[in-house]
Amino acid sequence: MKMIDYNHLPVPGPRSSVIGEFPGLYIHVPFCRGKCPYCDFYSVPALSLIDGWLAGVEQEAAQYRKQFALFDSLYVGGGTPSVLPVEAFHRLLEALRSRFEFAADTEVTIELNPEDAKAAFFKALRSSGVNRLSFGVQSFIDGELAFLKRRHTARDARVALEKARSAGLDNISIDLMYLIPGQSEESWVRTLEEALSFEPAHLSCYQLTCEARTPFGRMKADGRIAVPDEETERRFFLLTSRFLRDHGFIHYEISNFARDEKSISRHNRKYWRHVPYLGLGPAAHSFDGTMRWWNARSVKTYCRALAAGQRPVEDSETLTVEQFRLERLYLGLRTREGVPLTDACDGAIPVAQVASLEKEGLIRIQGDRVLPTTEGYCVADRLSLMFPG
Amino acid sequence: MKQIRNFSIIAHIDHGKSTLADRLIQFVHLVDDRQFRDQILDSMDIERERGITIKSQTVCLPYQGKDGQEYELNLIDTPGHVDFSYEVSRALASCEGVLLLVDASQGVEAQTLANLYAAMEHDLVIIPVINKIDLPVADVGRVKHEIEQELGLDAEHAVLTSAKEGIGIEETLEAIVERIPPPVGSTDKPLSALIFDAQYDSFRGTIVSCRVFDGAVRPGDMIRLMSTGRTYKVEEVGIFRLPRESRPELTAGMVGYIIAGIKTVSDTRIGDTITLDENPAPEPLAGFKDVKPVVFSSIYPIAADDYLSLKDALEKYKLNDAALVYQKDSSAALGQGFRCGFLGLLHLEIVQERLEREFDQSIILTVPSVQYRFTLKDGSTVVVDNPQYYPDPIDIAGSEEPYIRATIFIPERYVGQVMKLCMDRRGVNSRMSYPAPGRVEIIFDMPLAEVVFDFYDRLKSITQGYGSFDYELTEYRESDLVKLDILVNGERVDALSIIVHKERARERAVRVCDNLADEIPRHQFKIAIQGAIGGKIISRSTISAFRKDVTAKCYGGDITRKRKLLEKQKRGKKRMRIIGSVEIPQSAFLAALKVDEE
């Protein structure tokens, strides 16, 4: 890995494309009790490194004190943040509060796994100011959970969700997964229905993706996991969208659904809107409006760099105008907000291609914006390339 | 003259020709070891990668024989493909002998046969050299037996070598000196020198490679190229060391080069005779042929605005390839480009590859065509090598296509399959003979159009490399021809049209449509690809619309990874042509050429 001294990086002022939005803060907790076979995020099962990591995050936060003054979202993700001992979690939030300013209504989210949910833990979360929980439930069918090698059962999930509610934490998001091998449309709907019974404010529905370099990726390569065909993928995707919209949810991003406008994840929306965010911790990504940079993946490398007084940055890039536009297009077109017509047409009047995409039913033009339709969502990966320029 | 030996090496691919040439060069210390690199005579990347020789290379080896005499051994390396068989024949005509290189583990293979027969035609001395004797699987006895039985050569005195290990190199040089006769000729006669190659040098113009049969040539002489009658003043003559070395004169028997202010290689003709303007030879050397292109295809830049850059590249490329002919062309689908004529499909591939690699061009080639002849109702005749100029069918009174006489050598066991292949390709009037036990020579009359595409490849795969193939153009014959158009979503793509025999049209249409359907990526709408003759649709393939293409996955804040993927796709799109609203990649145009039958 190349280790650059980022102490002398130029520090351009945040250039938000959405005026008036504050940046978000992300903390990567790179620890898990064990690795799920589909996950390609960075995490290690070495809980003994927690203290070193925490010291590292404290040091890293100090490095950005001047550059990022005020946040209105804090997202503690992973990994599995719920493996952190209560004291460590308190210490983390304390450290962040002492180094950064947060807006009064800051959205504070923590990701957690049902098996970690203990009443004392929820109380601690509440007292430390967490106001949003993201549960990694994945499924309410035990067979499916076993296939995913999750460490919890459907019952554990139910109990955890109940406990959270009774601890007064009711801004809840549930992560679910579809196209698990063996999953039928009926069992997926059962999972969705059960999730809705907990009245979540938000749902994230991901399609199981078998990335190379994960155990599932290798099983896919060997043919031990059948890859669903396009029609099946489409059916599940549309079923999910239709089902949740019928239940009053807003399908505001490819994988994300909110009960109402105020339940849209403030933090995640920053990624899609090109709002700056700072990521602390190993493998965390940051964006200041112009430049993107990302940290070293390994906890040890990360800690070593910080101990030496350096930024633990692995690499960075400064976006060109063209890259900026491509990102705006592809990120925007993954959300119901779409993109300004001027982005789609690169400053020109709507050209034939934009009109024909509307005719094909992939987009709608509304006022000065291009919005993806549900059909557009279905092909979002290439929608951004269909615009000239 | 007694100290000169002119020879070539005939070998099957991979039997070690380049390595042997390398060792001969090293043995005589022509280059010092520090400057030496493997395959020193194959200067083009394509040659090194494909293991074939495209351009002749000549090197003059100074060698002191065991008899104490100083010899000059001219090694003329020849291309190894039927597209260049005329060049090979002129190179062989410049030699007195050849080394027939056979792999000690593989034995005699058929591909060398065409060149071997050509060598026999020129009455050259043939020295069998059995190479790779160091391999554990080497079987020298068996190979000797094969050489005697299958080729009818005396293998008793075959030279045994391992070019890789440097074994038998001196023996090879001695065999050349002892067994290949020195050239004969008279320095007193008028100059008569055979051009067997020409290369372009950006500083000196054309460097003509030639074999002097009679007379002598010196700087200051006015030479005349007998086929064109053009005259040039000689600036320099010399021999092919590495690099070349000037000499006061080239005399009868010598192989060397002439620099005479000849601007491009196209001003010379391979096989032409060089003589002196003042005292010309009474007649040119035998065997001159004006080689004409037989396969035609149009080249277009992938991005229409790269036309001028392509024009420039072609001009530069042409400086060194006399066989390529081209002129301006234009297509409704592809814009401005060039219609080009090639010696064969390999030649076409080489031109394409070199334009892309050495001249950095991104190009599309249209389906290759031969030259067809149409008699119109008003009595006139038109020659058409470009389907765009196919006459209005109402006006056509008769149509003809060029035929060849194909000569194929194969081991007897492949006769059935090869006969079938030839007949599938409309071969007629077959004759068969047995030049040696177990070996068959098959002669067929076939339409050229049926062999230019992939016939040679098919033959090689059917015969596991043992089939050799050569052909000569014979005549035009009546043929029922039609123009097959390809429509993409109802829009005719002129660059994909083909002139084809009526009976082959449907089959061809089905295949082209299928190939295109495989190569054109799916779009958000359904795409119909149709083959049509006139207004009549004869084949159809459909590319279904993609219905879902979205990664519903959590990315976290890693926006870069996904963007990089999109950037890559975006670059890919730049290599596509939009016809109607369909994006057609370069590979689709290439796929349309493929006629594989599996």
What residue ranges define each of the domains in chain A, with the CATH number in brackets? 6-273 (3.80.30.20), 339-389 (no CATH)
Same domain, B41 and B168: yes
Domain boundary among B179, B206, B238: B179
Q: Which domain holds residue B234?
A: 192-276
Q: Are B30 and B176 in contact (CB under 8 A)?
A: no
pLDDT score, position A1: 34
pLDDT score, position B230: 93
What would the pLDDT profile of B547-587 be if each residue is shown by its tens digit?
A: 888 888 766 778 898 899 999 888 888 778 888 789 888 77
Is residue B186, in this structure, part of any structural domain at all? no
Mean pLDDT on B52-58: 66
Same domain, B225 and B115: no
β strands within B273-334, DSSP E: 273-276, 295-301, 325-331
Same domain, B399 and B452: yes
pLDDT score, position A317: 95
pLDDT score, position A10: 35
Is residue B381, in this structure, part of any structural domain at all? no
pLDDT score, position A307: 93
Predicted confidence (pLDDT) at residue B45 exceeds the cutoff of 70: no
Chain B contact for A324, CB < 8 A?
A: no
Q: Provide the sign of the torsion angle of the four alpha carbons A119, A124, A127, A130, taken in this order.
A: negative
What would the pLDDT profile of B198-250 be if each residue is shown by its tens digit?
A: 888 888 889 999 999 999 999 999 999 999 899 999 999 999 987 789 999 99
pLDDT score, position B302: 85
Is residue B383, in this structure, part of any structural domain at all? no
pLDDT mean across residues, chain B:
87
A238, two tokens:
């549309």
CA distance B219 to B244: 16
Same domain, B508 and B575: yes
- Higher pLDDT: A347 or B383? It is B383
Is residue B246, in this structure, part of any structural domain at all? yes
Chain B contact for A207, CB < 8 A?
A: yes
Chain A contact for B559, CB < 8 A?
A: yes
Is residue B384, in this structure, part of any structural domain at all? no
Q: Which pTM value belongs to this model?
A: 0.70
Chain A contact for B36, CB < 8 A?
A: no
Any idea how long chain B is?
Answer: 598
Is residue B285, in this structure, part of any structural domain at all? no
Same domain, B31 and B152: yes
β partners of residue B225 = B274
What would the pLDDT profile of B291-338 be if each residue is shown by its tens digit?
A: 788 889 999 998 878 999 999 999 888 877 878 899 999 888 888 999
pLDDT score, position A81: 94
CA distance B339 to B61: 42
Count of domains observed in chain B: 5
Which residue does chain B place closest to A178, by CA atoms? B552
The Cα of A281 is separated from the nearest Cα of chain B by a number of Å equal to 13
Residue B235's CATH number: 2.40.30.10
Same domain, B511 and B398: no
Domain boundary among B246, B276, B306: B276
Could you give the C-alpha distances from A41 to A24, A73, A227, A304, in angstroms and in order? 20, 21, 21, 21
Residue B63's CATH number: 3.40.50.300
What would the pLDDT profile of B132-151 be if each residue is shown by its tens digit?
A: 999 888 899 988 988 888 77
Which of B306, B285, B132, B114 lies closest to B194 in space, CA to CA?
A: B285
Same domain, B84 and B166: yes
Same domain, B146 and B25: yes
Write out chain B residues lying below 8 Å of A327, CB-based: 559, 563
Same domain, B74 and B136: yes
Is residue B377, in this structure, part of any structural domain at all? no
pLDDT score, position A7: 38
Closest CB from A234, A330, A377 relative to B562: A330
Domain boundary among B426, B451, B479: B479
Residue B436's CATH number: 3.30.70.240
**ipTM for the predicted complex:** 0.89
Predicted confidence (pLDDT) at residue B480 exceeds the cutoff of 90: yes
| Highest mean pLDDT, choosing among B41-45, B170-174, B451-455 | B170-174
The Cα of B568 is separated from the nearest Cα of chain A by a number of Å equal to 11
Chain B contact for A237, CB < 8 A?
A: yes
Which of B8, B7, B15, B9 lies closest to B108 in space, CA to CA?
A: B15
A144 CB contacts (<8 Å, ≥6 apart)? A138, A180, A182, A183, A187, A191
pLDDT score, position A20: 64
pLDDT score, position A8: 38
The Cα of B535 is separated from the nearest Cα of chain A by a number of Å equal to 28
CA distance A281 to A30: 8
The Cα of B558 is separated from the nearest Cα of chain A by a number of Å equal to 6
Mean pLDDT on B419-431: 92
Write out chain A residues lying below 8 Å of B563, CB-based: 323, 326-327, 330
CA distance A379 to A386: 11
Give contacts of A 7-26 with B, CB under 8 A. 26
pLDDT below 50 — which residues of chain A? 1-18
Same domain, B419 and B470: yes
Q: Give the residue from A379, A383, A386 with the most B CB atoms within 10 Å of its CB, the best one to mutate.
A: A379
Same domain, B96 and B160: yes
Predicted confidence (pLDDT) at residue B485 exceeds the cutoff of 90: yes
Q: Are A303 and A48 in contact (CB under 8 A)?
A: no
Per-residue confidence at B272, pLDDT binned at 50, 70, 90? very high
Per-residue confidence at B344, pLDDT binned at 50, 70, 90? confident
Closest CB from A77, A279, A384 relative to B566: A384
CA distance A163 to A184: 29
- Higher pLDDT: A19 or B443? It is B443
Percent of chain B with pLDDT over 90: 45
Residue B352's CATH number: 3.30.70.870
Same domain, B103 and B119: yes
Mean pLDDT on B162-178: 91
Is residue B72, in this structure, part of any structural domain at all? yes
